[in-house]
Amino acid sequence: MDDYDVSFYFLDITVTNTSTLIEGNTTIQATALFPLDTFAFELIPEMVISQIFVNGTEYTGFYHEGNNVLVPVDEIAAGNTVTAQIFYSGTPPTGSFFVGVDHAHNNNYNMDVTWSLSEPFAASDWFPVKQDLEDKADSCWVFLTTASDNMAGSQGLLTDVVDLGNGFTRYEWKSSYPIDYYLISFAVSDYQDYSIYAHPEAMGGDSMLVQNFIYNTPQCLEDKKPSIDETPGMIELLSDLYILYPFSNEKYGHCLTELGGGMEHQTMTTLGGFWFGLVAHELGHMWFGDNVTCATWSDILINEGFATYSDYLCRYNLVSETEGNSFMSSKQSSAMGQTGGSVYIPIDEIYPGNEWRIFSGRLSYDKGAAIIHTLRHEIQDDNLFFDVMGTFQTEYGLSTATGEDFKNTAEEVTGLDFDQFFDQWYYGEGYPIYDLVWYSAGGEFHLSSTQTTSSSTPFFDMLLDIKLFFTDFTDTIITVHQTDNLNEFTVYTGKEVAVVQVDPNNWTM
């Protein structure tokens, strides 16, 4: 599959809210990078293929190799367009979290719902696909036919709703933004559409759609509306801190399902509820995960670490500083709950069946967010830190990036060297442990700082804040630079120190 570049996915499928059955066709449009005599894609054997057309010609000699489908074709020259249309049907397997399609019943509202979840390796459970993070399609259409008492949500704009006259309706969704394979989705239920609008400052008074498909009962709207109504404020905040919401020409939205958590499907998050932190986290993914997607699963920091940090920013700015600080403290404590494991994921730890290593709450989410917070402190300038975030979005937007790419952007914007920072915090394991001995005499504060570490990383070169409480009941914060396992510091204060507090604002673990 490395011999072609995907430009467009068009899913035209029939779905139901009562099972995971799917039938229909998917069109993959691509450009041949080399001469092609075989067109390959991924689709699990449980999905039965009835016909395959490539550039208008039907080919019947296709065959499976595991989840790969190979189609011998008349040679296609490099640079030429390949249009493959695959007709298929089947019931994707269920029974675990990482399955492509799932179905459930909500007892509270008496609703059936079916939804997709393709991350990281399960898009091929329900549509023909090339599962390559670095090969984003330029655009996608998702046409969903379902019983007329249902509604079905997906990416981009709902361009038409077609009554087919046979008790079925087709919802035609079109998105013109580049999209990674696992961010294509659907959800179907007896929904109602509760739409509101956000007004990011960068839109100059214009508005953008926030479209929410929730269960079609008055009680559901009454229950969910207060939380949903917090979403525009989050969009406006993150648009100010990063860059304008990346898909503002289309929408942001939610499809309510029975998913245990949320999934940042591009422009239309799938989630199981509307609690503040979940909505903030999944929204943060629109910048980090969707606009800029991790180039490899090893670099899941780009997705989950930054989405968790977006949750922190929303709590700190929209709820209270106390709430934000408490949240960050909990992430740091979680990260220190064990000593092993790095935020960067070694390639040999990434494979089907080991998905929870990618989505480790402690490492990918919590420690990821914690080291971003520490990096912010290392920069020592909030405006510069958010310039890094915005520049990264601009440089790698609608594409993919690695942790190294983020490091390079941070170095370009700040002029600082972050090699050591990434070696110890991103690729390394554990955290620093400090033993401080101090005394105050003659208007000077003397500090002996000994650093050991919890794991294999031998040393953490870092800035450390020390809050000094003086005998006259005033206080100040000094920042020292730990450059070795043992450092001695002397600071002139002009007064006597009574008490010290290490890292008073929880910048680091």
Residue 362 CA to residue 43 CA, distance in Å, equals 32
Contacts of 155 (CB under 8 A, 6+ apart): 140, 142, 173, 175, 179, 183, 184, 185, 250, 265, 266, 267, 268
Residue 64 pLDDT more than 90?
yes
pLDDT digits (tens, 9 = 90+) for 171-183: 999 999 999 999 9
Residue 490 pLDDT more than 90?
yes
Average of pLDDT values for 155-169? 98
Half-sphere exposure of 169 (CA within 13 A, CB side): 17
Average of pLDDT values for 88-113? 94
Neighbours of 204 (CB within 10 A): 7
Q: How many residues does the chain have?
A: 509
Average of pLDDT values for 48-62? 98
Residue 317 CA to residue 323 CA, distance in Å, equals 9
Give, in order, the Cα–Cα distances in Å from 193 to each of 48, 250, 290, 324, 384: 34, 16, 24, 32, 40
Residue 438 CA to residue 215 CA, distance in Å, equals 61
**Residue 8 burial by CB count (10 A; 0-12/13-18/19+): exposed, middle or buried?**
middle
Task: With cut-offs at 50, 70 and 90, classify the pLDDT of residue 50.
Answer: very high
Average of pLDDT values for 385-405? 99
Task: With cut-offs at 50, 70 and 90, classify the pLDDT of residue 373.
Answer: very high
Task: With cut-offs at 50, 70 and 90, classify the pLDDT of residue 170.
Answer: very high
Average of pLDDT values for 92-108? 91
| DSSP letter, residue 255 | E
Share of the chain above pLDDT 70, in %: 100
pLDDT of residue 97: 80
Place of tokens 């101090």: 438
- SS3 category, 193: strand
Residue 265 CA to residue 11 CA, distance in Å, equals 15
Give, in order, the Cα–Cα distances in Å from 213 to each of 224, 252, 272, 433, 438: 11, 11, 12, 48, 59
pLDDT digits (tens, 9 = 90+) for 279-317: 999 999 999 999 999 999 999 999 999 999 999 999 999
pLDDT digits (tens, 9 = 90+) for 5-21: 999 999 999 999 999 99
Contact 271, 282 (CB under 8 A): yes
Residue 288 CA to residue 272 CA, distance in Å, equals 21
Residue 83's closest CA among 51, 120, 39?
39
Task: With cut-offs at 50, 70 and 90, classify the pLDDT of residue 75.
Answer: very high
| DSSP letter, residue 258 | S
pLDDT of residue 95: 78
pLDDT of residue 324: 98
Residue 65 pLDDT more than 80?
yes
Task: With cut-offs at 50, 70 and 90, classify the pLDDT of residue 157.
Answer: very high
| DSSP letter, residue 362 | I
Task: With cut-offs at 50, 70 and 90, classify the pLDDT of residue 380.
Answer: very high
pLDDT of residue 85: 99
pLDDT of residue 307: 99
pLDDT of residue 238: 99
DSSP characters for 116-179?
A: E--TTTTGGGTS-B---TT--BSEEEEEEEEETT-EEE-SSEEEEEEE-SSSEEEEEEEE-S-B
pLDDT digits (tens, 9 = 90+) for 423-458: 999 999 999 999 999 999 999 999 999 999 998 899
Residue 254's closest CA among 233, 297, 294, 225?
225
Contact 16, 126 (CB under 8 A): no
Which amino acid, one-letter code, is at 239?
Answer: S
pTM for the structure as a whole: 0.97
| DSSP letter, residue 291 | T
Residue 176 CA to residue 157 CA, distance in Å, equals 9
Contact 76, 56 (CB under 8 A): no
Average of pLDDT values for 466-494? 97
Contacts of 153 (CB under 8 A, 6+ apart): 171, 173, 186, 187, 188, 191, 211, 213, 253, 255, 268
Residue 21 CA to residue 17 CA, distance in Å, equals 9
Residue 415 pLDDT more than 80?
yes
Residue 96 pLDDT more than 90?
no
Give the strand pairing for 101-106 and 151-153: unpaired
**Alpha-carbon torsion (427, 430, 434, 435), positive or negative:** negative
What does pLDDT average to over the chain?
Answer: 98
Name beta bridge partners: 468: 476, 500
Contacts of 348 (CB under 8 A, 6+ apart): none
pLDDT of residue 262: 98
